[in-house]
Amino acid sequence: MAADQAGDVERMGFQLALRRRGISDQAVLRAMDEVPREYFVAPGFTDSAYADQALPIACGQTISQPYVVGYMTEQLEVAPTHRVLEIGTGSGYQAAVLSRIAREVVSIERYRTLADVARERLKTLGYSNVTILAGDGFLGAPQLAPFDRIIVTAAAEEIPEALIEQLGAGGKLVLPLGPRNGTQYIVKLTKAADGTLTREDLIAVRFVPLLPGQAREL
């Protein structure tokens, strides 16, 4: 089988697996089909790019498994007019998926190496509506707030107050929440016009921890 044919079969299987696990939002499925995941994994893992598993990247971080990316994106309920803040750029894959749906994506990464590589990768792939910032995810991006949607791609033990403040009225925040060595859940918060938060606890997950500050090295 030719390489391009094998790639087509792999992508079809990727989409089928997402649908079988319950991802049904057509905009999310289309975005994940459009973004070439093989460009976001480490060189030694390209053969596993479309497998439903988390994979290691630089700085001890990971690229989340496709199902979790699809699930969190679906729960975020992104519309084409939305501005989205992502905490934890990593390889840039989640930001790339969001960029296919949202008007604008701002992503913060504590490791400058990851931020620089992701920024160049997204530029090369033509994702011009993503801004990558190196900084402290706990602080968010107050200078660019408010945001319609906020997604956190590392597990926090408590919900960062700054992110709640930067979420606009009617906005939604999706993040993994729980202790580093304990049970973590995807949590979805919806902010009412009066600032009241409604919380939903969703599926159990396992993420790398959300750490404060910007990394001094890497």
DSSP state of 144: G
Rounded to whole angstroms, how far apart are CA atoms 66 and 43? 18
Instruction: From the candidates 24, 48, 64, 107, give the one annotated as an active-site residue.
Output: 64
For residue 194, how many C-alpha atoms fall within 13 Å in the half-sphere facing its CB? Answer: 2
Q: Where are the alpha helices (DSSP H) in the chain?
A: 3-20, 26-34, 66-76, 93-99, 112-124, 161-166
Rounded to whole angstroms, how far apart are CA atoms 190 and 185? 16
Residue 56: phi, psi to the nearest 5? -75, 145
3-state percent helix, strand, coil for the chain, nearest multiple of 5: 40, 25, 35
Rounded to whole angstroms, how far apart are CA atoms 209 and 15? 29
Residue 89: phi, psi to the nearest 5? -65, -45
CA–chain centroid gap for 201, Å, is 18
Active site residue 107: no
Residues tagged active-site: 64
